[in-house]
Every structure is written in structure tokens, then in C-alpha cells.
Amino acid sequence: DTGVSQNPRHKITKRGQNVTFRCDPISEHNRLYWYRQTLGQGPEFLTYFQNEAQLEKSRLLSDRFSAERPKGSFSTLEIQRTEQGDSAMYLCASSLVSRDRVLETQYFGPGTRLLVL
Amino acid sequence: RKEVEQDPGPFNVPEGATVAFNCTYSNSASQSFFWYRQDCRKEPKLLMSVYSSGNEDGRFTAQLNRASQYISLLIRDSKLSDSATYLCVVNMIRAAGNKLTFGGGTRVLVKP
């Protein structure tokens, strides 16, 4: 399978614990995005990387959230001191940016579903 | 006002019928547009890009109206397997990088 993969697929944690999610993008893709999706809503942008550089962070990404992509390949998203409001599906997407940047298409992984008790 | 707005539905569609729904966007600088399909508890999957002249892919037709700032999706001869949430996505190219903004989705239920 050469698509985007995410691990774990499900995570149940207690409030106050730290959690870390991993995303492996499609191998030749240079951009990697993190989104959060809650029930009945579309995905909301959190942050993205171009290679290893984190270029943008949404204001949704509080200080408790941190993302890394140390070698420009896989990425991790860590949530510290989880809160019940963090319960959501965390989606990763990757893309290969063309020179004109108009036809960038993002491909999503299966997501990590987080439940904070 | 949300940047990208969709009627959440659900649109209850008899099998074999045609269904169409729109998505409106607020930023006139938006430059490319997509429809994604999302099944329950699954990830979004690209259905089709939307080109300025409108485009068709089998039973699916997408239209873009820049003047009125909306995108439409039409599904002909609906199949039971078309039941899903359809996400409208608007892309704005910026110096800081492309920004994809998703609508909340339109839920379609095709019934026998």
C-alpha cells in the first residue's frame, strides 16, 4: 500500500495524558498537512510542512500541540495534557506541489480517532 | 460567515434519481476547487477537481461559477454506493503556501 498511513488508528486516553500520533506520507510527496475533524464538520487545518520546515500553524493549534517532521518524511503530532475537547479525528494528508501550485491535490490517511475520557 | 458553506442535508435520493447541491465560498481570491467524498468514519477521498469550464466524470458533473462564488456537484443515476458526505474544498494560493478550506459537507443518502 503506497498511500498515506497513520498510527495508531484509535487512541483512548485519560484527561491530562500526553499522546503522540504518527503519519507516513506518500513517499515522493513534499508537503504534509495535519487536520482535525469533529463529528458533522469538515476537516480543519492545523499545520503543514514543506519537507522538514513547518510553514504554517493554525490558531487552533494551542501550545499543547506540537508537530514535527524531522527528516522531511514521516511526521508526528503530539498533544500534551489532553482535554476532553481534544477528542476528534486527526487526519494527515500529503501532496506533491507542482510548480504552478494550482493543482495541488491532497491525499488523506485513514486518520487517528482520539477519545479523551 | 464561514469561508466555505454547504447545506448539511441529508439529501434523501431515490436510487436512479439525480441530485445536485451547491457550495458557496466567500473569498474571491480562491483559485482551485475540489469535491471530496467521505464515507462514515473514513478519510476524505478526492472525487474530482473542478475546472472553470465545468467538468464531468462519469455520472458526476461539477460546475464552477466564479461570479456568484459557488461550486455545484450533480450526481446522475444515483447508486446506493453514492451515499456519503460530499466535502467542498476551496484552495487559495498564497506566498505562505496553498490553503485548503473545507466545507462542513453535504450528506447524501440514496435509498432503494
B76-103: pLDDT as tens digits: 999 999 999 999 999 887 766 677 899 9
Question: What distance in Å separates residue B17's CA from the closest CA in chain A?
Answer: 25
- A87 to each of A13, A83, B28, B48, B78, how far by Cα in Å? 10, 8, 33, 30, 34
Segment A75-117, tens digit of pLDDT: 999 999 999 999 999 999 998 877 666 567 889 999 999 999 9
Average pLDDT across chain A, whole number: 91
Report chain A residues whose CB lies below 8 A from the CB of B46: 105-107
Segment B36-73, tens digit of pLDDT: 999 998 999 999 999 777 899 999 999 999 999 999 99
Question: What distance in Å separates residue A103's CA from the closest CA in chain B?
Answer: 7
Report chain A residues whose CB lies below 8 A from the CB of B42: 110-111
Closest partner residue to B93 (CB to CB) among A31, A56, A101 is A101
Give the pLDDT of residue A1: 55
- Which ranges of chain B would DSSP assign to H, the alpha helix? none
Greatest CA span in chain A, whole angstroms?
45
Q: Do B32 and A102 touch (CB under 8 A)?
A: yes
Give the pLDDT of residue A100: 63
